[in-house]
Structures are given as structure tokens and as C-alpha cells.
Structure 1
Amino acid sequence: MTHEISGDFKTYSLAGTDQEVRFITSVLNLQPGSSILDLYCGYGRHAIELAKQGFDITGVDATQDFLDIAAQKAREAMVDIAFRRQDMRELDYNQQFAAVINMFAAFGYFTDDENVNVIKLIAKALKSRGLFLIDLLNRDWMVRNNLNRYWRHPSGEYVLSYKVELENGIATMKRQLLNQVTGAKIQYEFVLRAYSLPEMANIFTNSGLSIIATFGGFDGRAYSSETPRMIILARKND
């Protein structure tokens, strides 16, 4: 079965959240009202924009500070989103979502066995023939480049920055969330496993998922060893 992807990605010129959400909606190609799980939704910037477009959104994250920000922003945007604090290793959904999205290198925090089980839990959470969209750092590109990012909320209130260092397939992430109004700062460091495309394909196959498309960026460019991102669209086999 072929999954049709709507839109002409080459015409996309928007930056940041607008472009990312346009990409997400185009590759998923779901009808408004469809249920989507934003897994490790952070402070909700994708979840909120998707909810504005009429999707039934659930946002899960392990960090309460992020969820508090997300809930406040959702109230300001007047959208209804079910936010839930939960470790992705403990997902307990069963055939509930038409799609699951996992954005901005929010996978690979744990041991290989635990990471594999997370994918199996995601597959379990999907309805029959449901879609899984995951955005990863491209390990091949990271070997030759340094990926440091900086993001400012449109309100100017919050700034998120992170620095990535890669060695032997393990990426060290150093993040900082700064509230520019209050001066409050949250800093933390963690490591994640950076997987190659063949490794992810093997994990998906063993979890009942099939890859149907790969991209190298939110502008829809083709994935290659020269693209900084590895975005994979997969479908549940049954």
C-alpha cells in the first residue's frame, strides 16, 4: 500500500515551528480529528499547532517543567490537549492513535534493549496501519559536523539551547532552558544513543513497523549521509 504525501516540500521557505508542523501534517496526511500522540512533546510547540488544526492531540513528556509550560501555552492558544507526565519506557496505550510523532532527537536515552522496547510500545499504541514519524540526529553527518542549536519562543519569554558532542555512537546533549522574564534557568546534560538508518530499520522490522519514507530535513529534502537530520516515516504492519 502506498502512502501518499501531500504538498510540494521544495516550495517550503518557513523557518522553525511553522515549517516543522507543515512538514508533519503533510507526511502524515491525516484528516482533522485524527488522534496523534506527541511523544516527549517538550513545551508543546508542535502539539499546540497541531491542535489548532483540529487534530486530537495527546502530549507526553517525562519533564514536568516542560509540561507546565506546554499547558500554559495551550491555555493561551485556547486549545484542548491532554498532557501527561510519563517515561516513554512506561507507555501503556493500546491501539489508540492514528499517528505517533517523536521530534527533535527525543529517542535513544536508554540502553539498547530499553530503546528497542520503546519502539515496540509505540507500535502497540498505534491503531492498525497507524503511522510513526521520528526525527533523529543523523549519526553519519554528526561524525563530521558539530550540531549546536538555539531556539527562542515567539513570545521572547523562553530560550532553549543545546550542544551536541558525538563519540562512538553516543551523543552527549547539554541543554539550557532560560526564562528571560524571571531569569530562571534550567540546565541539564544527558546522553543518547545515535542510531544509523540500518539499525533503525532493523528495530522497526522487529517491532512490526515498516519504513515507507525517509527525509533529511523539515524542508523535505532527501535523506543522505550529508543531511543533519534523519526523519523516518513508518507504518504499523497490521
Structure 2
Amino acid sequence: MDIENVQYEQLPADFAINDTGSLLEECSHLYSNHYGRWSKDAPHHGTGNRIKLSAEMLRTRWLENENANLYTARLEGKLIGYAIAIRLRYNDKTYRVKDEKNGIFSWVTQLVVHEDYRNRGIAKQLLFSIWGLSNDFAWGLLTANPYAIRALEKATRRRCNPERIRRNKQKLLNIACRDLGGCYGIKKSTRIDVSKAGSKIDTKFFVDHSQVPEMIQKAVPNGMPWVLGDLEEGWEWFAFTFQDQEQLKLTGDEIEGMIRASDQVAQKAYSRMLLDKGHKWAGHTDKEVEFIIEKCALTPGKTVLDMGCGLGRHALKLAERGLQITGIDYILEFIERAKQEAKNRKLETVRFIDGDGRELESDECYDAVVCLYDVIGSFIDEEENRKILGNIARHLKPDGVAIITVMNHELTIRLAQDRFPGHIFSFDSEPNRVLDLEPAGIMEETGNIFDPKHYLVDKNTHIVYRNEQFTGGRKLPEQLVVMDKRYTEQEITELCEATGLVVQWAKYVGAGRWDDSLEPTEKAAKEIMVFCKKRRDG
């Protein structure tokens, strides 16, 4: 089986707790058969026996926490790894972190990988899925597994440093006692030994340590010392890295991991956009709907598929005009809110589907398909964008038409040339430039993702990198490096033609100016619009 095909997914704890399927049983089975064995000093368990964890204990001790999330790794549908992470703000007045923005601790309370897949990057990718390029104050875990320590260092791009851990020991202990007591049973009297010689905690978890020395040899890079010290039975390493430590350069493997995780990061970022917060482009809905109806020659009763519908702002307006509308989006929260809005408006000719446009399988065909505001280009792997376009073609009636918009690369590169020429780069030769991106709340606040101060644009691939910061809503602040693909008119035309569509015309447009044909580098020309028909043999 190809390890490159591992699928990673993030699930909120309440989803896992309320799951009517077998998710918790799967996690319990993986833990009970692959976490480890009891040591000779383990009371009442039997030396060498597997350490077991029931689904009920997993639920009550680890997942019944409002700050918890479950992250899974699957290969061909089989669960081969999972992690549970708790992310919370530190508010103790005595030990308060001065910078409130960075006063967030991210603590992985469980990390389990199938024995057949250890030391193959699964743990690192799980942790990278959790932490990415976040700007938290600290990241960490308690473990007797050297591979987990190495995964922590790779995912956060920082080395564990006992002196830095010692300086924050009391904060970490307070959090463990107050917020993680159910997981570890840690009390204020729990012994923690942090010094130049190492960093460890007496959790009285008697997992077998007989293979630890050999694992350290395999986990530590050549020439690097093991700084966390020796480990007695019943103890675990108290391992943390901190935001203000010097960052390590991204390795080739980490760069590949970032790219593999880009789809998940994009979904996470879009789910945190406050689309009803007053973005300027959201005020043009009525005018855009009129344009769609006119160009697609839509009359009451005709059918429209809105691919990547978001909160359904176009779909709902089209339904009000008597059209039969289907909206699909892969962000469940958006779909639920769109359904509620349709119910509030008493609209019976619109339905919303929680699904991915890349995987849409339906026998239904439509008079028109709209795919607007950069759904195409949300994926940096062009094959993923091809899948969406192919599904648009397949779900059009023989005489159906499609309107598609993508982001304009020519304007993107011109804005950078004029204002921040240093922001034009090659990711292949300078991948670590993304670590220096200034964070900004553009997606959440304004939606203006054409400000060159806050992006890097790859001159070869036309991929744009942004460090997006999210602070709104009930979720904790978060930073994500979001990547998207931008196009020239020729590129998007060729892509459409290669996926079963025939482009009738293409032009440069801007929000509220769909009737105009703008110049490629005109400041308002942020989108390229293509109008397509279905290829007769497609």
C-alpha cells in the first residue's frame, strides 16, 4: 500500500462522541493493539500485556472536552493513526502570558500510529495537520516514544529545549491540572523533573521502555544529541516547543507534507471565513443573479447547479426567481446555515447538499452550472481542479451552459511588481520564504486577497501563499498558510477545453462589474469569467 495515499481528517470532539458508526471503536482497537505493552513494574496488569483503552474511556476521559479535536489518518479506508489535541488559552492571572494573542497552548493528549506504519511520517503529518504554521505560544505532548518527540519537532520546526520548558513548567503544570486532569490524572503534587539533563514527568504510566534506547538511535538525526534525558519506568517525557524559539528550515519532506495538507488547510480556512460580516463583494448578489439569468437564458422552472455555493447567496436569490436550484459545498456549517435560510424564506425550490464538487456523482443534469468566486483554484494540485470542471461538464444537459470564475494571475503579479517586487519568488528554490509571511486577517475581515503586502506569488506555478489569521467566532485564534492557484485567460480556457467544455467567451471582470470587459491588469479585474457549453461528444 502506498503511504502517499494516506487521507487525513479533522473532526470536532462532539462529532466523535455522537458518532453512530464505529469511529470510537476503531480508535479503541488501534490503541489497544498498537500503543504499547505494560512494563514489568506495572501494577495489576501483567508484564508484556497490551495496554487497552475502551471506547467509553476514550469518550469520557479524552474527548468530553470542549477544546478537543480528533485527527485521523486512513489508508484505503483503514484507520492507521489518530491524535487528540486540546487547544486552549492560558488565563491564569499569576502566570499570565503577556502577549494575549500568543497565550494559546496546543497540547496533544493522544498520538497513536499502527506499528506497521511507524517512523514513516504518519505521526508528523498528524501533528502538522493540527499545528501547521500556527502562531500558538506552545505546542507539546507527554510521551515515552522518541518518534513522537521527533514528530513534534518536525511539525513545529523547533527543537525541544529543557531550559525553555523549565521556564514555563509552572504554566504547563497548571494547565495539566486544570484542563487535562481527566486525561493524565496529573496533580499539583505530581513530580516533574526539568533541568539541563532532561525533561520528564512522573505520570505513573508504566508502558514498557525496553525498546526506547533503540528508538532514540533511529529518531535522532545524525550528529544531534538527545536532550530530554533518560526515562525511568512510569515516567514520560515532558516535551514542548515554543513560538519564540528559532525556527528550523523546512526540509524536503516537510515541504511535501505542507503541499499534501493544503486541501485540508484550505477547507479549514474557508470554514472560518465570516461570510456574513459585510465583505464588499457580497453586496453585489442581486446584480450578479440578474447577469446569470440573462446570460444563461434562465426562465422559471429551469434547473441550476451552484458548485461551491458557500452560504447560498446566489442559490437563494435564484430560487426566489422560480428556478430549481441545487447547491453543493464541502463545508458542512455553510450548508446547514444555507438550509436554515431557505427555510426562513420559505423557499421550496432550492436544496443544499453537503458534498465535494470533485466527487459529485449524480444522474441529474442541469440547464446551467455556476462555479463562482475561486472554487476552481482553491486546490493547488491542478488535477483536483480538473475533477470539478469535469463534473461541471458531466452534469450539464446537452444544451446546458456554465459560468465559471477564477482569480486573475496577471493582476496578481502586476500588483506585486508595482508594490512588493520581493514577493515574487520561486517556491522550489526558496520554500522557507513562506515562514516569513506577515499574518493578516484578510479572509475573515475584508476578503481582499489581492493585497501584495500579504502574499507571495510563485512566478512559475502561479500559486499564491498567504498567512491568514482568524480571530472571530467562538474558536480560538489560528493562523494558516493558505495556498491558491491563479490563472491567465489562456490557462483557464485550455483547462476548460480539456475537461469536456467548450469556451464561448472569456473576459476579465470584477465584483459588481460582470457586464464590463476589463483590462487584465486593471485594479478591479480580480476575476476571469468563462462562459462554456458542453462539448457534444463530452
Instruction: Identify the TM-score tier after normalising by the shorter chain.
Output: 0.7 to 0.9
Aligned match of 2:531: 233
In the alignment, the residues of structure 2 paired with residue 83 and residue 64 of structure 1 have an alpha-carbon distance, to the nearest angstrom, of 10
Deviations 1:141-186, CA, capped at 9 Å, x for gaps: 121238x9989xxxxxxx764352351111346485956xxx6689
Q: Which secondary structure does the structure 2 equivalent of 1:204 belong to?
A: helix
Greater Rg by CA: 2
Whether the 8 Å contact between 1:160 and 1:175 is mirrored in structure 2 is no
Q: Which has the higher contact order (CA 8 A, sep 6+)?
A: 1
Alpha carbons of 1:141 and 1:123: their partners in 2 closer, same or farther (altered >3 Å)? same
| Identity rate, percent | 26
Per-residue deviation at 1:122? 1.2
Task: Provide the alpha-carbon RMSD of the alignment.
Answer: 2.8
Against the structure 1 CA distance between its residues 36 and 122, is the aligned structure 2 distance closer, same or farther, given a 3 Å change threshold? same
1:84 aligned partner? 353
For residues 1-238 of structure 1, what are the structure 2 equivalents within 5 Å? 15-80=283-348, 81-94=350-363, 96-110=365-379, 111-145=381-415, 161-164=446-449, 165-168=455-458, 169-172=462-465, 174=468, 178=472, 190-215=482-507, 216-217=509-510, 218-219=512-513, 220-226=515-521, 227-238=525-536
**Secondary structure at 2:397 match in 1:** strand
Counting strand residues as a fraction of each chain, which structure ranks higher? 1
More helix as a share of residues: 2
In 2 relative to 1, CA 45–120 (structure 1 residues): closer, same or farther, beyond 3 Å? same
In structure 2, the CA distance between the partners of 1:185 and 1:50, relative to structure 1 (3 Å rule), is farther
Aligned residues: 214
1:9 alignment counterpart: none
CA positional deviation for 1:94:
3.8
Alpha-carbon offset, residue 74 of structure 1: 1.1
Deviation at 1:233, TM superposition (A): 0.8
Partners of 2:413 and 2:290 lie apart in 1 by: 29
- 2:306·2:327 contact (CA, 8 Å) conserved in 1? yes
Instruction: Specify the code of the residue in structure 1 equivalent to 2:501.
Output: L
CA pair 90-30 structure 1, distance change in 2 beyond 3 A: same
Partner SS state of residue 414, structure 2: coil
Change (3 A) 1:186 1:113: same
Q: Show structure 2 runs of 5+ residues with no match.
A: 1-282, 417-439, 450-454
Amino acid at match of 1:131: V
**One-letter amino acid matched to 1:210:** V
Q: Quick one: distance in 2 between partners of 1:103 and 1:202? A: 18
1:52 and 1:189 map into 2 onto residues whose CA distance is 38
Task: From the superposition, tell whether residues 142 and 21 of structure 1 become closer, same or farther in structure 2 (CA, over 3 Å).
Answer: same
Distance 2:405 2:477 in 1: 24
CA contact (8 A) 1:161 1:177 kept: no
Return the letter of the residue paired with 2:463.
I
Return the alpha-carbon distance in structure 2 between the equivalents of residues 68 and 229 of structure 1. 28
Deviations 1:48-103, CA, capped at 9 Å, x for gaps? 00000011000100001111111111111111221111112101134511111011
Task: Deviation per CA, 1:20-48: give whole Å up to 9, x if none.
Answer: 21222222121211111111100111110
Unaligned runs of 5+ in 1: 1-14, 152-158
